[in-house]
C-alpha cells in the first residue's frame, strides 16, 4: 500500500498522522516456527541485508500470536534525523556478516499489520490494526512502533520540516489495507527550493525532445560550483523554449570551476540563465536530491545565486 502525494495540509478527526521516515520500505513475515523473511517493495529478499531485524522479529513474540505479516520502514540515523544516505551503505549487501560489519545501525519502524495467527486483518480499520499490531509484537530496539496523532495535521507537518524529517503521512482512520497506491494514505512532503545557475545540458534520449537534463550550480565567491542535473518538471513546450535559450548561450568550455561533471553528451552554455529548482535535500556530495524544474527566473542575476544554508 502506497501513499499519494498531496499539497493539501489538513486536520480531520477521521484521519491520523504519522512521521514520514526516510528509509526503505519493508514487509516482514514470521511463520509459526519463528522464521522471518523481509521483503522490499519489489519483493526482493532483504533478510540478509538486515539480519538483526529478522532476528529481533523472530524473538519479539507479543501477547497475541506468532505468525504474522507486518509493514514498516527500515531506517538508519544520522544524529536525530533518519538518513537514507547512510542506509545506502547497506542496501546492496546480501551477506548477513558483511551487512553487520558495516557498523550502520538500523531500526525497523513498524506501522501496520496485514496478517496475524492465520487471519487476514487487512480489512479491519486502520486504527484497529494499529492496536492489533501493538499487541502482536514487543517493541524493543531495533523494532519500533510508529506512533500517531489524531489532531493538528498542519502543526505536525510544520514541526516535521523544522526537525528535518521527510514529512508526514496522513491516514484515514477507518481505511482498510489495500494494494497499490491509495488516497487513504497521503504524503505531506517537506519541500525545499532555490535558484540555481544553468551551466550546461545533456542530450535527450529515446522519445525525449529538446534536451535531457540541465546542469546547474551556484556561486561560491567567484567559482561556479556544480550541484547536479535537473531532468524533470518540463512539458513539451518548455523543453523547446528552454532549448532555444540554451542554443543562444552555447559555449565551448565548462563554466563550472568546481565539481566534476560526469557523463558524455554534455554541452556547455554561458552561465546566465537562472532556474528555480525544487528538491528534497543536499546530498553529502553537494548534489540535489530529487530535483525538479519549476521555471526560469528573469528577476535574479546569475552572479547573485549562492547556496542557501541547511
Partner DNA sequence: TTCCGACAGTGGGGTCGCAAT
Partner DNA sequence: ATTGCGACCCCACTATCGGAA
Residue 78 sits in the site that holds DNA (CB under 7 A): no
Catalytic residue from among 20, 171, 189, 229: 20
Q: Please state the three-class secondary structure of the chain as a single string.
A: CEEEECCCCCCCCCEEEEEECCCEEEEEEECCCCCEEEECCCCCECCCCCHHHHHHHHHCECCCCCCEEEEEEEEEEECCEECHHHHHHHHCCCCHHHHHHCCCCEEEEEEEEEEECCEECCCCCHHHHHHHHHHHECCCCCEEECCEECCCHHHHHHHHHHHCCCEEEEEECCCCCCCCEEEEEEEEECCEEEEEEEEEEECCCCCCCCCCCEEEEEEECCEEEEEEEECCCCCHHHHHHHHHHHHHCEECCCCCCECCCCCCCEEEECCCCEEEEEECEECCCCCEECCEEEEEECCCCHHHCCCCCC
Nearer to DNA among residue 150 and residue 292 (C-beta): 292
Q: Does 284 sit near DNA (CB under 7 A)?
A: yes
Nearest distance from C-beta of residue 122 to DNA, angstroms: 16
Binding DNA (rule: CB under 7 A), the pick from 37, 40, 58, 138 is: 40
Which stretch in 64-72, 109-117, 121-129, 179-187 sits in contact with DNA by CB under 7 A?
179-187
20 labelled catalytic: yes
Q: Which is nearer to DNA, 118 or 263 (CB)?
A: 263
Cβ proximity to DNA, 132 vs 214, nearer residue: 214
Residues numbered 104 to 163 that lie near DNA (CB under 7 A) are none
Which residue from 79, 103, 180, 253 is in contact with DNA, where contact means CB under 7 A?
180
Q: According to the binding rule CB under 7 A, does residue 230 interact with DNA?
A: yes
Name the residues that contact DNA, by CB under 7 A.
5, 22-25, 40-42, 44, 46, 84-85, 88-89, 91-93, 95, 98, 180-181, 183, 189, 202, 204-208, 212-213, 228-237, 262-263, 278, 280, 283-292
What are the residue numbers of the active site?
A: 20
Amino acid at each position: 500500500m502506497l501513499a499519494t502525494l498531496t499539497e493539501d495540509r489538513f486536520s480531520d478527526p477521521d484521519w491520523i498522522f504519522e512521521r514520514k521516515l526516510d528509509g526503505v520500505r519493508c514487509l516482514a513475515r514470521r511463520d509459526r516456527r519463528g522464521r522471518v523473511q523481509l521483503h522490499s517493495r519489489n519483493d526482493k529478499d532483504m533478510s540478509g541485508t538486515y539480519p538483526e531485524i529478522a532476528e529481533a522479529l523472530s524473538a519479539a513474540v507479543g501477547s497475541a500470536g506468532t505468525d504474522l505479516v507486518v509493514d514498516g520502514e527500515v531506517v538508519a540515523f544520522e544524529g536525530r534525523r533518519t538518513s537514507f544516505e547512510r542506509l545506502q551503505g547497506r542496501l546492496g549487501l546480501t551477506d548477513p556478516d558483511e551487512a553487520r560489519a558495516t557498523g550502520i545501525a538500523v531500526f525497523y519502524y513498524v506501522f501496520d499489520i496485514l496478517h496475524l495467527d492465520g487471519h487476514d486483518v487487512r480489512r479491519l480499520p486502520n486504527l484497529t490494526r494499529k492496536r492489533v499490531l501493538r499487541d502482536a509484537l514487543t517493541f524493543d530496539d531495533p523494532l519500533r512502533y510508529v506512533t500517531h496523532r489524531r489532531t493538528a495535521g498542519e502543526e505536525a507537518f510544520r514541526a516535521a520540516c523544522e526537525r528535518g524529517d521527510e514529512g508526514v503521512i496522513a491516514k484515514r482512520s477507518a481505511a482498510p489495507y489495500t494494494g497499490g497506491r491509495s488516497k487513504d494514505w497521503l504524503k505531506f512532503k517537506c519541500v525545499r527550493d532555490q535558484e540555481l545557475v544553468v551551466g550546461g545540458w545533456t542530450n535527450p534520449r529515446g522519445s525525449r525532445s529538446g534536451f535531457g537534463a540541465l546542469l546547474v550550480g551556484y556561486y561560491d565567491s567567484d567559482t561556479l560550483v556544480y550541484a547536479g542535473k535537473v531532468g524533470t518538471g518540463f512539458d513539451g513546450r518548455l523543453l523547446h523554449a528552454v532549448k532555444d535559450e540554451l542554443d543562444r548561450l552555447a559555449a565551448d568550455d565548462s563554466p563550472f570551476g568546481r565539481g566534476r561533471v560526469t557523463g558524455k553528451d554534455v554541452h556547455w552554455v554561458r552561465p546566465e540563465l537562472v532556474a528555480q529548482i525544487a528538491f528534497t535535500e543536499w546530498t553529502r556530495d553537494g548534489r540535489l536530491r530529487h530535483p525538479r524544474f519549476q521555471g526560469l527566473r528573469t528577476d535574479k542575476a546569475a552572479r547573485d545565486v549562492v547556496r542557501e544554508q541547511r
